[in-house]
Amino acid sequence: MPSNARQRLSDFEQAWVPRLNAPLAAAVQADTTDVRLAEAMTYSLLAGGKRLRPLLTVATLTTVGGQFDDDRDWRPVMALELLHTYSLIHDDLPAMDNDPLRRGEPTNHMKFGAGMATLAGDGLLTLAFQWLTATDLPSETKAALVSGLAHAVGPNGMVAGQARDIQSEQVTLSMPQLQTLHREKTGALLHYAVEAGLILGGLPTAQWQPYLRFADAFGLAFQIYDDILDVVATPEELGKATQKDAGEAKNTYPGHLGLQGANQALIDTIASGQKALKALPSGQDASLLAAFFSYFKTDRVKA
């Protein structure tokens, strides 16, 4: 990926991550009446996440010509980060992946216990939907955001993907089955991140498809890259245990295709997403969204 794209993404992150993070702790605490629960919720929420999903929403909103208003848009945009953090807390629980580390720090249940961690996730999940409506946005916009997020994270999306993931351990999936699992488990939230930007920007739905094809390619690339990093990266790099997927007999792209094949699938998927962006309506500059593909380093796998 060209260095100018990496710089474009870095500049965007440096401008927006502090702006998105600044009100976060106070806003959660203001909406939570139990001090220990608020502490558990904010512990994971402020544990160094990249804010990739809300950044995608802001980038999409910007690309379609919308203007981010902090008072009106901040809570609906950051609702997605609340939702994402809930999913990580629950994914790490002993009943799920039983991970001791997340982003280089003890996971929520290691610090607060499994019961409080479960409630912290529940609190973030429900608060996300409150934040989608705690805004002066038009009612039809709020309804579209709520419907879109519920579809992305529920039994049609992320939860279904997690269910498939649990059921597929020790079972070899076909490639189409693996793609479905990844589309639901990981891709659905990234799809919604772009969809939310389209909704907030007021883009006519007839013009959505190139953006959503980009979103789906980005989501698949994200999962393939995550699978690759589990094999080639160190725990220090990722802030969590590596080599877990093979040990738990999980279905992954390297497991199906080998590292070289997975890396080629990553390259092909990025190309598919870049092609989708070339179909954006006239006058919409795709360069910021294209820069998100610089997140993936296709040279991690050596020939």
Please tell me which residue, 234 or 238, carries the higher pLDDT value: 234
What is the reported pTM?
Answer: 0.94
Instruction: State the pLDDT at residue 234.
Output: 79
Angle in degrees, 0-180, between the axes of helices 175-182 and 209-232, rounded to the nearest 10: 110
Instruction: Specify the amino acid at residue 169.
Output: E
pLDDT band at 247 (very low <50, low <70, confident <90, very high): low
- Break the chain into its structural domains and give their ranges: 1-295
Average pLDDT value for the chain: 93
d(CA 44, CA 284): 36
Q: What is the mean pLDDT of residues 37-56?
A: 96
Q: Tokens representing 85? A: 């953090």
pLDDT of the residue at 55: 98
Window from 56-65, 79-88, 96-105, 248-257 with minimum mean pLDDT: 248-257
H runs (alpha helix) in 209-283: 209-232, 235-238, 244-247, 253-277
pLDDT of residue 250: 78
Q: How many CA atoms lie within 13 A of 160 on its CB side?
A: 19
> Residue 224, CB half-sphere, CA atoms under 13 Å: how many?
32
When pLDDT is averaged across residues 153-178 and rounded to a whole number, the result is: 92
pLDDT confidence of residue 244: 65
The architecture in CATH of the region 1-295 reads Orthogonal Bundle (1.10)
Residue whose entry in the numeric block shows the structure tokens 């579209």 = 144
How far apart CA 30 and CA 230 sit, in angstroms, is: 37
d(CA 120, CA 110): 13
